[in-house]
Structure 1
Amino acid sequence: MKIEARIFEAIAAFFLIMMIVYAVATGFYRTGVEWAGVMGLTFSACLALLAGTYFRFVARRVEIRPEDYDDAEVEDGAGELGFFSPHSWWPIMVAIGASLFAIGFATGNLWFAIGCAVLIVASATGLVMEYYVGPEKH
């Protein structure tokens, strides 16, 4: 997780540097600083820093992975990665609900968007609870 933290922290540093360059460039070549771009780059830096901080925080709690070693080989990461449901329809339902919500929100159909939000919550609940209820229950 330290690698991911470094990547996002480097992205945050890049956005901060570009924000300063952008503010100086727009202030120099225009009548004033173009604040929409400055704020966009600032918020992008904050989001990247948020992700980097999360990965740095999680890196202290998990065991060291092969990706964290500088001299690791590909076969060091071999083994089981986790359980992935091969037949679940719930992710498709979440994607359909999210895309329909985006369409409803973008077109201003408030009731349609609210209905799609309910569909998203219901399908996400179904995805989470899939192996705790029904015939697949262990």
Structure 2
Amino acid sequence: MKAEACLFGGVAVFFAGSAALYAYWSHGDPSGTAALVVAFLMAALISFFCAMQYRRKGRRPQDRTDAEVADGAGPLEFFPAKSPWPVITAAGFTVTCTGVVYGLWLFLIGVGVLARGVVGMVFQYADRGGRQES
């Protein structure tokens, strides 16, 4: 993940420089500057995530030249078999977007459903610890 962190870090630096130059040369055009700042933030977020994964887990077998194929074998991560929360989150997002068109009351209902879906996904396996469920 170190290579990916450096790659996206370079992309973030490019967008930061582009945003600064664009803001200066366009005399403060807010739309283009905002788009470049958002692009910088997205690249910086991915770079930060990759750097933290590298720091937490170390080098992957794909990053080492002396690695064997068997070094990459085994479970990579925990993936839940079934979960209702993605469907609830998608329904909440759909109702929220529909509420933008039809009214505040529907928007607020959608935000509530969306929030419940996101909280459910985040804390679904919070008590899992080191064990894996089937």
Alignment match, 2:76: 81
Distance 1:71 1:109, change over 3 A: farther
Give, as a single letter, the amino acid of the residue that structure 2 aligns with 1:122.
Answer: R
The 5 Å alignment of 1:29-108 reads 32=27, 34-69=29-64, 72=67, 76-105=71-100, 107=101
The answer as to whether partners of 1:3 and 1:67 remain within 8 angstroms in 2 is no
Structure 2, unmatched stretches of 5+, are: 128-132
Structure 1, unmatched stretches of 5+, are: none
- Sequence identity of aligned pairs in percent? 30
The answer as to whether partners of 1:19 and 1:38 remain within 8 angstroms in 2 is yes
Length-normalised TM-score, structure 2: 0.67
Q: For this pair of structures, how many residues does the alignment match?
A: 128
The 5 Å alignment of 1:1-12 reads 1-12=1-12
Q: Root-mean-square deviation (CA), in Å?
A: 3.3
- Give SS of 1:115's match: helix
Give, as a single letter, the amino acid of the residue that structure 2 aligns with 1:55.
Answer: C
Please identify runs of 4+ aligned residues in structure 1 that moved more than 6 A.
none
Bigger radius of gyration: 1
The answer as to whether partners of 1:104 and 1:110 remain within 8 angstroms in 2 is yes
